[in-house]
Structure 1
């Protein structure tokens, strides 16, 4: 067996290097537990050094014209597309998603680079009339400063470009800490940024085995002006608390508990096909994946027949294998969560229509697999009704009244994505207005794009990513009062 490679994964001030003390940690393939590489385990001192490098590079980078910053992002976009297959293959090995889905993510990640390459040139100010004849008001937008960014494992490339793209376009500098389970994807993205011409110190990468000290450093270091985080609500709360004490800007994209409502006038077959496709997006490991399926009683039988059949046909396995549509969960704890939620639901009266078990035989023996699952007769007293699943388990609840289902859909502390299926445009608009979620898909399971604002309300986060809103998260507004 060949020796597992070591990757110099600290990129500080334009230099790739190992950790100063030689510390490292392993990166494994979630489909089989195989160690694929070791990477540097940075310490707090190296996080501070990265922040210093970003701070030193800020003045020169922010002074570059929007057109210069834009051209670098355009080059990064081209390089990412040229290396799309290599990036997708690495993502499937490191994160587990099927290769086809990994290819889609790489294209999505590149979209953020080109979108914000264009938005860099559209950071417009304005003039405001004054009541005084000898005075003019000018509004300008300036980069907020050094950004501390933390990205998740479930979308290990696109979540980087969704943060770094607008930060660079705005004239900010960045220190990024990627997820501990997917640092190799981050390394390759930063190699692209380096090759595209991002100057030394403008982007810095620190891989760590223990993320907690990084969050503390980001929220307490006076050189960091903004923190951006995608991950769990629990960690987001801690970062928000720390940022609040030092009055730093913060944006958070956190958990979700999306409802999927099928009204009585919907096409149950069409709805079931969409429901199955979105449920197993990234093996259910996406914050926008539906966690509660509300189906009108008049359509329940036909919907469940199609939904269960399609979920049951999904093939789990190593994402590199032809025909695999469901990859592994990221770790053993995730599989344990599936078992706990399904076990609780069954104990309280839910029925398993398909799946409902950990996959352990043959090719699944050393990986983190759970069978795609559909539960019926789910009730509000079950854990799965309240707790984010983040896996391939779909709980179905039958309803009969529009007001009741909207109340049930809103009965959560989360507020990211939601979905409704109906052929009545009036009902669609009325429901959108009543749902307390940042995004609503109407007969649409993919209401996302680099050009569209992404984000939630309540425990699902603060701020928006993508679209025009995305770059303004990295800008401060300055007023100039000019006496003439």
Structure 2
């Protein structure tokens, strides 16, 4: 008994030391970074919020304050919109090559500062440093992609039915764009939107998530260094209490032509209601409930590897991560066994600044409580905890990677997005049953399935009601492919050659009397 007590105390002491080291690393990163900015960036100037209002940015791993940044309100939002509007005529008039060159310089600076930018993400978001580094490369890839697409926005010449007419189709920038980004990918979601908008000649006002404003402000600093003109790119951080008022301005101001938002479906609906009175164009990347289907014909080892990659990236805090695991009865038990072994072998909870860590903290206490509530609901309805199931001893916002079996469709974890390291497994019998369960949700962002039956692959890929399908693949995002969902998962597409369409208007010009 005494030996067990000593062992427990040693483990607790080691955990506390690691936790303190994590907090120190986060603080040191922010304190020693030349890219940390605490003011808003409006009209090419770094400015304070009204009354020098500030709000704290916290390390999610320890809860300690990293820095305070300007707490912008409606006044700063309107100033940023005016600055973007004033800069619009000259930016719109710039040649596509000029805009392309400036975006390329921005890309080069992001790559040059990739290590520092990655450490900022880990400090304010908590994700493991290697994941943060991958995000920066991903974020930079959108700036690079759209710097190239800037020169490929083509119109059309359409044959007319009358011999004395000519029909021209022009594509022109829509105007000022409001961009509202999430905390889970604070750099990549910004560049995926802003890169496209800037490439075609729009100016932007960015409102980053209150949990992670440092990444957006650092990108503004690099945009300034790249020579992107004053007022073309603006960033206004705000606290949770000011966010609704700022969001309302960004969606109702008549100078704003379009909004682009990534976040929850509930918030997206509020923003759409705000935008409807002035009939703004809206691009919405909203919530998901991704099914991950494993058929009897699947390569089980490949499916388990894909499941881990999809589910546990960023500790399950991605909009496209697998949320419901549907496993056919013939291989169900083998899949669960292999999955548990892989989780216990490959997943390590700890500080994001530790090279061995694969699972960092959840973003805040509310996120942890949501995971706990889903597990409690599932267990009360007959689900079994196969591994994990509780908070991790490393800290209050850390949660054990968890797998549930005997899950049914009436449980919360099968009905609502988790945004945490929880993998619920449901057993199904037929392909038709799996499709029915997968499509029962009112959202449809991503879906995954594993099969070696080529006829089945065609059938399922066509029938899944989602915007993104992974066939024998758990990681899907790339700048070359369109990203977006169907049903209540959003409107429009980001990335790819289609990503610029959200920021363009089509104009028909008729030449007559020729």
Fold agreement, TM-score > 0.5:
yes
- Give the match for residue 329 of structure 1: 362
Q: Secondary structure at the match of 2:511?
A: strand
- Counterpart contact for 2:37–2:218, Cα < 8 Å: no
CA distance in 2, matches of 1:264, 1:419: 15
Q: Secondary structure at the match of 1:235?
A: helix
Which of 206, 213, 227 is the equivalent residue of 2:259?
227
- Give the match for residue 217 of structure 1: 249
Q: Does 1:387 align with 2:413?
A: no
- Give the match for residue 242 of structure 1: 274
Which of 20, 27, 49 is the equivalent residue of 1:19?
49
Structure 1 alignment gaps of length 5 or more: none
- Counterpart contact for 2:130–2:355, Cα < 8 Å: no
- Give the match for residue 147 of structure 2: 117
- Residue 7 of structure 1 deviates from its aligned partner by 3.9
- Give the match for residue 204 of structure 1: 234
TM superposition score normalised by structure 2: 0.92
- Give the match for residue 52 of structure 1: 82
- Give the match for residue 104 of structure 2: 74
CA distance in 1, matches of 2:42, 2:319: 31
Which of 416, 429, 435 is the equivalent residue of 1:406?
435
Out of 372-381 and 235-244, give the one that drifted further. 235-244
Q: How does 1:437-456 map to 2 (within 5 A)?
A: 437-456=466-485
CA distance in 2, matches of 1:318, 1:117: 35
Residue deviations 1:427-457 (CA, integer Å, cap 9, x gap): 1111011110001000011122111000001
Q: How does 1:321-360 map to 2 (within 5 A)?
A: 321-359=354-392
Displacement over 2 Å in runs of 4+: 1-9
Which of 313, 336, 342 is the equivalent residue of 1:310?
342
- Counterpart contact for 1:13–1:200, Cα < 8 Å: yes
Number of corresponding residues: 480
Q: How does 1:395-434 map to 2 (within 5 A)?
A: 395-434=424-463
- Counterpart contact for 1:7–1:38, Cα < 8 Å: no
- Counterpart contact for 1:341–1:383, Cα < 8 Å: yes
Q: Secondary structure at the match of 2:84?
A: helix
CA distance in 2, matches of 1:413, 1:353: 29
Q: Does 1:477 align with 2:509?
A: no
Q: Secondary structure at the match of 2:331?
A: helix
CA distance in 2, matches of 1:350, 1:174: 47
- Counterpart contact for 2:309–2:475, Cα < 8 Å: no
Q: Secondary structure at the match of 1:280?
A: helix
- Counterpart contact for 1:312–1:355, Cα < 8 Å: no
CA distance in 1, matches of 2:293, 2:146: 34
- Give the match for residue 11 of structure 2: none
- Counterpart contact for 2:306–2:475, Cα < 8 Å: no
Q: Does 1:278 align with 2:310?
A: yes
- Counterpart contact for 2:482–2:498, Cα < 8 Å: yes
- Residue 9 of structure 1 deviates from its aligned partner by 2.5
- Counterpart contact for 1:273–1:306, Cα < 8 Å: no
Q: Secondary structure at the match of 2:448?
A: strand
Residue deviations 1:387-443 (CA, integer Å, cap 9, x gap): 110100000011111101100010101100000100112211110111100010000
Q: Secondary structure at the match of 2:493?
A: coil
- Counterpart contact for 1:262–1:271, Cα < 8 Å: yes
CA distance in 2, matches of 1:89, 1:42: 25
CA distance in 2, matches of 1:246, 1:162: 25
Q: Secondary structure at the match of 2:485?
A: coil
CA RMSD of aligned residues (A): 1.3
- Residue 268 of structure 1 deviates from its aligned partner by 1.5
Structure 2 alignment gaps of length 5 or more: 1-23
- Residue 481 of structure 1 deviates from its aligned partner by 0.4
CA distance in 2, matches of 1:205, 1:155: 16
Q: Secondary structure at the match of 1:479?
A: strand
Q: Secondary structure at the match of 1:124?
A: coil
